[in-house]
Amino acid sequence: MATYPDQAIPLLIVGRQRAGTRFITDFMNELDEVTLQGELPNPVMRHIEQFMNSVNKYYDKVAASDDDRKQREQRRWQLKREQLLFALWANCGQSDRVEPSRDIKYYGYKRPNNEFYFDFYEQMLQHNKPRYVYCIRNFTDNYLSIVSRWPERDIKQVSDDYLASVRQYQAMKASASDRVFLFNLDDFSAIGLSYLERQVLAPLGLSIPDNSRTDFAHRPPINTAADVGVTRRDTLTQSENDFLNSHPETNTIFESLSIAPKAQET
């Protein structure tokens, strides 16, 4: 099993499906200081959580005694569990493993909806507290992108998921404001590379090499509907518009996350 530098800070790319998680991951993987693995399937992630919690519960239980040896065992586990999670991210994902770079500062992986594992990661990754990049976009584009890929999903279901996700981000930000960073895809589209630098890279102590700036600034969209052979819907139906008109919170909650109001105009 590969080992990973003890100084590597866990970095989790989280947030809405179809809202830039792949873009952020590919972008940051080109920086020497960052290594991010691909997605873990939902059932795999649930099993990892159950397994890690079971092991943690065992060591907590044995350490509750006055036995110094058992307490030392618990402390050793607490130091090693970060390395175990790193290895699981590398070897249980859907994509090829990305080998850690020599100059690694951040190590992690991307997974839409990973924000709902915030409490789990806060408990398991106490040696180096993790950083999180939360990805979001306006609801209409997010919904149209999702139903183009998965037409069986209805607007109420997607809206409920969207609201739950943003509220979870707000809870994360309230709990760890200096470690949770927002990537608003609409703001990035409106403002450009400087938005990403200000919102994500600078707080992480990262920068884009000067000789790569032009290339980074003109990247085409990735992981689009066309890339997987489906036609993307461009407009809402009348019933979908009616739903949004009767549920304005779906749009207003997003507006509170934007620093580029013009990006919301249609």
pLDDT tops 50 at residue 263:
no
pLDDT at residue 266 above 60? Answer: no
Q: What is the pLDDT of residues 240-262, one digit of tens each?
A: 999 999 999 999 999 999 887 55
Question: What percent of the chain has pLDDT above 90?
Answer: 77
Distance CA 151, CA 140 (A): 15
Highest mean pLDDT among 172-181, 187-196, 223-232: 172-181
Q: Map tokens 């499906």 to a residue.
A: 17
Q: Label residue 161 by pLDDT band (50, 70, 90).
A: very high
Q: Give residue 229's pLDDT band: very low, low, confident or very high (50, 70, 90).
A: low
* Amino acid making up residue 204: L
Length of the chain: 266
Structure confidence at residue 239 (pLDDT): 97
pLDDT in tens, 197-228: 999 999 999 999 887 777 776 666 665 555 56
Its sign, for the CA torsion 21, 265, 167, 126, is: positive
- Report DSSP state, residue 6: T
User: What is the pLDDT of the chain when averaged over all its residues?
Assistant: 90
Whether 43 contacts 86, CB under 8 Å: no
CA-closest candidate to residue 144, choices 82, 214, 235: 235
Q: Across the strands, what pairs with 108?
A: 11, 36
In which element (H, E) is residue 168 found? helix 155-175
Domains, the chain, ranges and CATH?
Answer: 9-264 (3.40.50.300)
Query: Nearest CA to 98 among 29, 144, 151, 48?
Result: 29
What the block records as the tokens of 114 is 């990973």
pTM of the model: 0.90
End-to-end CA distance of the chain: 51
pLDDT in tens, 45-79: 999 999 999 999 999 998 988 889 999 999 999 98
